[in-house]
Amino acid sequence: MSRTKLKEIEEFRGTFTGIFERMGSKSGWKGSTETTVLLIDIQDENGIIITEHLWFNYTKGFRELGTLTVGDSIQFNARVKKYYKGYQGYSEEPWNRETDYKLSHPTKITNLTHPEKRIVPWEEKAKKCPICGKPLAESNILGKIDFYCRKCKKTFD
């Protein structure tokens, strides 16, 4: 219903905002679980709600925001992408396909409500192990970022 409004701006790349609702997960490669982010009330630059909710992969851009709080207003740039809902294959009549739209490749993700929670990107931080001095690996579990030294086998925050 509300998704039809996305159709009008298909292939458009612009700035959107959404309200953080909760974290989630989906099945990833080889049985792994990928963390996802649910934003609701997605609005375009004019404040028009274009869709009620969207799931995003919990990408680096989201992780850099730090811990998200329910109700945080998240701004991002994204591309509007068209896809077919429940598409079965070429045998299906095109006019029977249900078209849906989603925003993809979000970039420049900002937490408008809590910008101070932002984590300095890994590359800029170049955090090193306080014991041996080796660069630390970053891990992220539901928004909690930890750094791990593979040599010392210790976790730091």
What DSSP state is assigned to residue 121? P
Q: Closer CB to Zn ion, residue 121 or residue 130?
A: 130
Q: Distance between CA atoms of 61 and 55, rounded to whole angstroms?
A: 14
Pairing of strands 154-156, 49-57: unpaired
Q: Which is nearer to Zn ion, 28 or 135 (CB)?
A: 135
Q: Examine residue 151 and tell whether it contacts Zn ion (CB under 5 A).
A: yes
d(CA 104, CA 20): 16
Candidate list 26, 132, 142, 144; residue touching Zn ion; CB under 5 A: 132
Q: Say whether residue 49 binds Zn ion (CB under 5 A).
A: no
Which amino acid belongs to residue 129?
C
Task: Indicate which single residue of 131, 139, 144, 146 sits in contact with Zn ion (rule: CB under 5 A).
Answer: 131
Residue 149 contacts Zn ion per CB under 5 A: yes
In this structure, what is the dihedral angle of CA atoms 20, 80, 91, 94, given to the nearest 10 degrees? 120
Q: Is 129 in the site for Zn ion (CB under 5 A)?
A: yes
Q: What is the DSSP string of 10-30?
A: TT-EEEEEEEEEEEEEEE-GG
C-beta of 122: minimal distance to Zn ion in Å?
16
Shortest distance, CB of residue 155 to Zn ion, whole angstroms?
11
Residues that bind Zn ion (CB under 5 A): 129, 131-132, 149, 151-152
